[in-house]
Structures are given as structure tokens and as C-alpha cells.
Amino acid sequence: MSEVELSCLACVKMFLHASVYPRCSVNGLLLAPAAGGGGGRVCEEGVCVTDCVPLLHSHLPLAMTAQLALTQVDVWCSQTQQRIVGYYQANAHLSDSRIMLRQWEETRAVTAQLLNSTDHTLLVDFDSHLDDITKDWTNQKLNARIMELVCPANGNM
């Protein structure tokens, strides 16, 4: 069985996505470096999820919206030497706070800092992008902010 490793960046963005829309089900895509694409951590066995793209918070059952989002993300991945390796979904269930991750303490600390500041508002999912196409669904500003918080702590993503 292959190992799956999640970066702090990917985890924080998933938690922020669920936190920004706590009364909605949310979903998104998990990304890893493309084979031979470099620019990311390589796992000897398994998949290293280095990033995620938050997709939807209000139109989960709408196939057309999901297809549009998947097409856009697929094109962007080919331009940035990444590939789609998975999918995440968080159901709207406010009281369920159970989590089991190895790097949970670091992820929780970074997520808490972002939620306590206004930086969590930097998260843009594809739904929000469809409402206002000037919003960046690739979340480059948020990624940079997360990396500022993560890198000094341990030098990792």
C-alpha cells in the first residue's frame, strides 16, 4: 500500500476552507508535483500532496460547476508542473472536531494564527471566483502567507 503525505500548506488550506464556510459542505482537489516536474518534494513510495485547490462551498451536487472547475484546475496544473492526485470533502457538521494527522500541532497553530487574523479571508474557492472572477482561486497570496508562518518553524512546506 502506498503512503500519502500531506504538506502543512495543503492541510491548512483545507481547514481554512471548512472554517470559512462552517455551515456548508466544502470540497477541493489535492495536488502533487507532476512526474519529472521538479519543484516539489518527492516521495520514494507514495504520494506527497503539496497543495490543494479549494473548489466549492455551495454547489457540490452541480456537475456543470464541478466540470468547469476541474477543467480550469487541470489546465493550471499543466502550466505549473503539478497534477491532481486526490479529492477532499468536509461535510457541514460543526460539532465534529476529530482529526488524526501527524503534523496536527503545526497545522493547528498555523490555522489558528490565520483564523485569528484577517488572513483567513485570503482563501478563495472556485465558487467565490465564479461570483467575482477577479478573485484568485489559485490562492497565491494565501500560499505565501502560510509559507511565512510554516518555514521559520521547521523549514518545510
pLDDT tens, residue by residue, 62-85: 677 888 889 999 999 999 999 999
Residue 104 vs residue 23, higher pLDDT: 23
Pairing of strands 47-49, 82-90: unpaired
pLDDT beyond 50 at 157: no
| Predicted local confidence at residue 150, as pLDDT | 85
* Cα-based angle 149, 157, 98 (whole degrees, multiple of 5): 80
Q: Specify the range with the lowest mean pLDDT, choosing from 52-61, 75-84, 126-135.
A: 52-61
**CA–CA dist 144, 41 (Å, integer):** 17
Task: List, in sequence order, every beta strand (DSSP E) within the chain.
Answer: 4-6, 26-33, 47-49, 51-56, 82-90
Fold of the domain spanning 4-151: Cytidine Deaminase; domain 2 (3.40.140)
For residue 5, pLDDT beyond 70? yes
Mean pLDDT for the stretch of residues 124-132: 90
pLDDT of residue 40: 47
Contacts 24+ apart (CB under 8 A), 94-103: 94/22, 94/23, 101/6, 101/11, 103/6, 103/8, 103/11
